[in-house]
Structures are given as structure tokens and as C-alpha cells.
Amino acid sequence: MRLPLRDAGDPTSIDMERVIAMVDVFMDRGFTYFDTAYPYHGGRSETAFREAVSQRYPRDRYTVTDKMPCWAVQTPDDMERIFNEQLQRCGVDYFDYYWLHALTVGTCRGISAN
């Protein structure tokens, strides 16, 4: 989600009035898929999704995907903590799709191959 801003120099200054208007047009035209991630907009994309979508539309009206920020995982416990934080930020009980974000050599140090 690359969202409209009130201040072009501040990625956290999401223009929620415009986002809500965009979501309404998007949904009215039959689209349902939303993509967000832990770091987007300085961590505000997920809460913007909650405000614009999950608090305003029934859960069966949309699909949402999110991503585990691999670089933030230092221990196996971090995965569950971050995942639960993302559910709360998005205002949902589950994600339709969930990905490993920026999975490269050196990321996901807390994820064991066992």
C-alpha cells in the first residue's frame, strides 16, 4: 500500500480522508484485495488499513495480505509477537495470505531450519 500523504516528506502522515475515499471507490467497483506490510509508511500502513477497511467493512468483503518482516526476527518468539501485533494493527483475526518479507541470506536469523 502506497498511500496518499498530507506531507510528502513524512511517510507516516497518511491522508486518511483520501484513503477512505479511495477504499470506498475500490470496494464499490468490486475489488477486494489489500496488501500491507509491517514497515510500510513507517509502520502506519497496517493501522491505516484497519481504519479504512476492517473497521468499516465486514470481513467477508475483503482479502488482506501481510508479511513477516524477516529482518526484525531475532528469535523464534519474535515471529509470534510480530504476527499478533500485525493482526491487532490490521484489526483482523486472520490474514488471507501471509508472506516472508524480503527473505534473503542473512534475514530471519530467528527462524530455525528444524
Query: Three-state DSSP class for 60?
Result: helix
The tens digit of pLDDT for each residue in 7-30 reads 999 999 999 999 999 999 999 999
**Has residue 54 been placed in a domain?**
yes
Residue 53 belongs to domain spanning? 16-101
pTM over 0.75: yes
The per-residue pLDDT for 37 is 94
CATH number at residue 27: 3.40.50
Let me know if residue 10 belongs to a domain: no
Say how far apart CA 112 and CA 33 lie, in whole Å: 31
Which string of b and e fits 2-11 if b means at least 16 CB within 10 Å? ebebeeeeeb
Q: What are phi and psi of 41, to 5 degrees?
A: 55, 45
**CA 21, CA 27: separation in Å to the nearest integer?**
10
Domain membership of residue 112 (yes or no) is no
With a cut of 60, say whether residue 85 has pLDDT above it.
Answer: yes
Give domain status of residue 53, yes or no.
yes
